[in-house]
Structure 1
């Protein structure tokens, strides 16, 4: 049986002692976990929602472990080349860890992992800067969905409103957001008040490693240095 490379010493960036110890702890934790699970995946995410992700993670905690954080630290833990990888072929995983991505270590069958990720989708209110998925326009006239107490707040968001006999009234047509354009802070607040959700939290599998093979799932990865079986 080949000698494990998990305990090889690594050099992390120069930081304060506390920061260095924290990074070393993460590296050690990932390396120990790699020995406990059958396969490893890199996944990307869009419109991350921490609470929803925690629920998804807890759903799989009996069979899997997730890591999010510094990609560089995870790369160091896994190994960034053949010479420092902790298991054969695992350094290919670290090459895909870039941008908004995370690491999944699991004992679940490949088909089950794909099913869970493909079915995961959570809708939420859009944050500032998110691209609007549709145009939202309010027509001149009464806004029955808002109570009279909301009128000062709506005015602060730039809406041309007034109170007319205790009813919030729009004195001219107003575009909250345009499809394909970034949502402003004011528009984000108004859309939330209207109950309109434009953000979808999704997870996308990018690649999979196992002792037998390595697969890349997503087109467009810079995989010129990635070895596939």
Structure 2
């Protein structure tokens, strides 16, 4: 995509598109719309979807699993659960948690094992959000938006909108 837009002033398709193509790194996307800047920023500041926390995210709540049968898992999952650190045993083909287990504490950084356990138990502790990083317009103008929020923090749409308006 960056090649099609142009990587330099000499190769850009339209004025200042080389600045846009320089931003296309990692997980980035393009949105083409006739909506106003304000409408687009408002939409993305309010948009989010629940997601599973990944390793390195901060736990937003305490998660404990009570001892007893884990009927949502097939018997073949028992070794995997034990490898993740859960105290399990197999009783008559049913996985059983032999004692209460604390997966994580609120405010602590999640390990890969903790994030995998949370996912297996269907606990969504993160939010998927889209951050607008810049805007190119048909008149050739290019505007960069700045944000200061960390990926591990819960986003505050009101604060984000104020930061964008101030820049």
Instruction: Report the CA distance between 1:156 and its aligned residue.
Output: 3.5
Instruction: Report the CA distance between 1:173 and its aligned residue.
Output: 3.8
Higher relative strand content: 1
Q: 1:84 to 1:168 in 2, by over 3 A?
A: closer
Residue in structure 2 matched with residue 104 of structure 1 by the alignment: 31
Structure having the higher Rg: 1
Structure 2 residues not aligned, in runs of 5+? 149-167
Residue in structure 2 matched with residue 17 of structure 1 by the alignment: none
Structure 1 residues not aligned, in runs of 5+? 1-73, 221-229
* TM-score normalised by length of structure 1: 0.49
* TM-score normalised by length of structure 2: 0.65
Alignment root-mean-square deviation, CA: 3.3
Structure 1: how far apart are the matches of 2:41 and 2:72?
49
Structure 1: how far apart are the matches of 2:22 and 2:72?
56
Structure 2: how far apart are the matches of 1:169 and 1:80?
57
Matched-pair contact (CA < 8 Å) for 2:75–2:90: yes
In the alignment of these two chains, the number of paired residues is 141
Residue in structure 1 matched with residue 153 of structure 2 by the alignment: none
Instruction: Report the CA distance between 1:208 and its aligned residue.
Output: 0.5
Instruction: Report the CA distance between 1:133 and its aligned residue.
Output: 2.4
Residue in structure 1 matched with residue 71 of structure 2 by the alignment: 147
Match of 2:110 among 168, 181, 203: 181
